[in-house]
Amino acid sequence: MSVESFLKTDILQLFETADRMQKLVQTRGGDDSLKHKVLATLFYEPSSRTFASFVSAMQRLGGTSIPMQDMTHSSVAKGESLPDTAQVFSSYADVLVIRHPDTGSARELAQHAPVPVINAGDGLGEHPTQAFLDAYTMKKELGRLDNIHIVFVGEFAHYRPVNSLVKLLALFPRIRMSFVSAPEVALQAETRVFLRSKGIVFNEDSKLEDVLQEADVVYITRPKREFVPADVYERIKGLYPINPEAIQNMQRHSVIMHPLPRLAELSVEVDSDPRALYLSKQLKNGLYIRMALLKLMLGRK
Ligand code: NCD
């Protein structure tokens, strides 16, 4: 449901398993360790990567999926409730993955489902598996998760991957975070309270060009047209463009990440920069992490 229920040891176990999944995919494409297991993906919101990587993860481990990519075409269109949907799909699947526009919906489904539930994004709440794959990517590229400076750019108020990633990184020592955004889409109050409660060093008033020079990671997000008034969107959409000029003073060892989909905030001219991971490693790691998660949840002990 939330990254908050994970200990550092859980995360490291997940990462070790993901390393094994990468080797497995690269050498044999997959195995049959989850044969006869069934995953149901209940998506009430659009998704490309999260949906496809969960389905692919299950198939590469020999399992199958009930790919409900548009729940508005299910009995939900006739008015079926989340508790009933939980019972229905739990009768056919061993694990449920839900994406839903309402914060707390994943928890509600889980309360009524006799099988495990994975939160693949609930409203303005969390998106834990995105945080897992993001942190996994950072660890592989930088060689560590402690003592890093991560610069978040763009939109945080309506951006659940940031809520989850912040909580995950807070498990590691000497993390520094900078948040650069328009005030209208600054960090959620709850996330700010969380950071303070953990004693994390963070700032919200730095100039982008100053912090980019010091960053180990720049984590770019999409201004969300769905959530802000049209005039605000027009004003903020190009406020912090990440283009070749913006990244020219970034350190050589640093990495550039984006959970995608990206719009104009991240120029396609950055794609060929060796530090850009969003169209390559970040995507692949999403598959390995979700394979690892399914294996740890459903595999033989
Ligand atoms: C994000 C989401 O749905 O929270 N997408 C994703 O899973 N990578 C971000 C977004 O919607 O822009």
Pocket test for ligand 1, best of 103, 260, 266 (most atoms within 8 A of CB): 260
Give pLDDT, residue 73: 82
Helix intervals (H) in the chain: 8-28, 49-60, 82-90, 105-112, 128-142, 160-169, 189-197, 208-214, 230-236, 244-247, 281-298
Pocket of ligand 1 (CB under 6 A): 49-50, 121, 127, 130, 160-161, 222, 259-261
Residue 78 is predicted with a pLDDT of: 86
Q: What is the sign, positive or negative, of the torsion defined by CA atoms of 163, 1, 216, 256? A: negative
| pLDDT computed for residue 75 by the predictor | 86
Please check whether residue 90 is in contact with residue 66, taking contact to mean a CB–CB distance below 8 angstroms: no
Mutate to test the pocket of ligand 1, among 3, 48, 50, 278 (most ligand atoms within 8 A of CB): 50
Average pLDDT taken over every residue of the chain: 96
> Treating both helix axes as pointing N-terminal to C-terminal, what angle do 128-142 and 281-298 enclose, rounded to 10 degrees?
120
Judge whether residue 34 has pLDDT over 70. yes
The residue among 117, 121, 123, 116 whose CA lies nearest residue 131 is 121
Q: Can you tell me the distance from the alpha carbon of 211 to that of 54, in angstroms, rounded to the nearest whole number? A: 35
Ligand 1 centre distance from Cα of residue 195 (Å): 22
pLDDT (0 to 100) of residue 301: 60
pLDDT tens column, 195-212: 999 999 999 998 999 999
Check residue 184 and give its pLDDT: 94
- The answer to whether residue 109 scores a pLDDT higher than 70 is yes
Q: How far is the CA of 161 from the centre of ligand 1 (A)?
A: 7
Residue linked to tokens 């548009």: 70
Instruction: Output the pTM of the full model.
Output: 0.97
The per-residue pLDDT for range 183-193, each reduced to its tens digit, is: 999 999 999 99
pLDDT for residue 194 = 97
- Atom number, ligand 1, closest to the C-alpha of residue 120: 7
For residues 192 and 178, give the distance between their C-alpha atoms in angstroms, rounded to a whole number.
12
**Per-residue pLDDT reduced to its tens digit, 130-141:** 999 999 999 999
Q: For a substitution probing ligand 1, which of 47, 152, 220 has the most ligand atoms within 8 Å of its CB?
A: 47
Q: Which two three-digit tokens encode residue 212?
A: 């980019």
